[in-house]
Amino acid sequence: MMLLLDLFCGAGGAAMGYHRAGFTVVGVDNRPQRSYPFAFVQDDALHVLQALYEGEALYTGDAYHHLADFAAIHASPPCKRFTVARKVHATNRPTLFDPHDDLVEPTRALLLLLGIPYVIENVPGAPLRAAGILCGSMFGLRVRRHRLFETNWRLAAPRCRHADQPEVVGVYGDGGAWTRSRPGGGGRKVVGAEAAAALGIDWTERQSELAQAIPPAYTQFVGARLRAHLAVAA
């Protein structure tokens, strides 16, 4: 069993990819995640990292896990000041997001202390180091949803294949689906089953979850390469 800790886990998009790559996954989030498909602990992710560093165990409801039990850690810390929404609202509402919502730096600092293989995922523009970028076009998905991946092991990312996507749809926000046209182009937002399928997700159709989820294909790709790295390092 290769155990992976999934921090700031949300509804489990990253977790499902790692599961498909052969990992057993434990998720941690400070909010209830009723759709999360694997073992889940409601707790503060930074507190969990600190506790593991200090030798404490993480209790999942049926087992205790110490740091040595985990082969790797994935983290998707909030970094709201780098999102598109932040840029859209910046001129009118400069305090829309608390700058403390940037948790990338404290997360990285704790992961480096722990000294095991890690992956940090975030949005383009976030302060990740030497990060590769993954896109839905690389995996035959109908979304682009570019995401950065920082690792402390070598991860080579393929190139985007935007030209191979006959239609790109949007999966974001609340509300219903819509189609818009305008000179030079347009767009379509999808919800429910179509949105889930566009992301490669088959365990939830909740819009609030889909709007934030990492397509599992991304972490299945990352997870396969992580397993290869772990095999060489063993």
Q: pLDDT tens digits for 124-169?
A: 999 999 999 999 999 999 999 999 999 999 999 999 999 999 999 9
The β-bridge partners of 65 are 58
pTM: 0.90
Given a cut of 80, whether residue 98 has pLDDT beyond it is: no
Write the pLDDT tens digit of every residue in 169-208: 999 988 888 887 665 556 899 999 999 999 999 999 999 9
Given a cut of 80, whether residue 84 has pLDDT beyond it is: no
Domain residue ranges of the chain, discontinuous segments joined by +: 3-158+214-233
Quote the CA–CA distance of 143 and 128 in Å, as a whole number: 22
CA dihedral 12, 16, 19, 21 (to 10 degrees): -140
Write the DSSP symbol of residue 67.
G
- CATH top-level class for 3-158+214-233? alpha beta
Predicted local distance difference test score (pLDDT) of residue 181 = 65
Alpha helices in the chain (DSSP H): 13-20, 45-53, 84-89, 104-114, 192-199, 207-210, 216-233
SS3 (DSSP) at 178: strand
As a whole-number percent, the residues of the chain with pLDDT over 90 amount to: 81
Predicted local distance difference test score (pLDDT) of residue 81 = 56
Nearest alpha-carbon partner for 108 in 93, 94, 120: 120
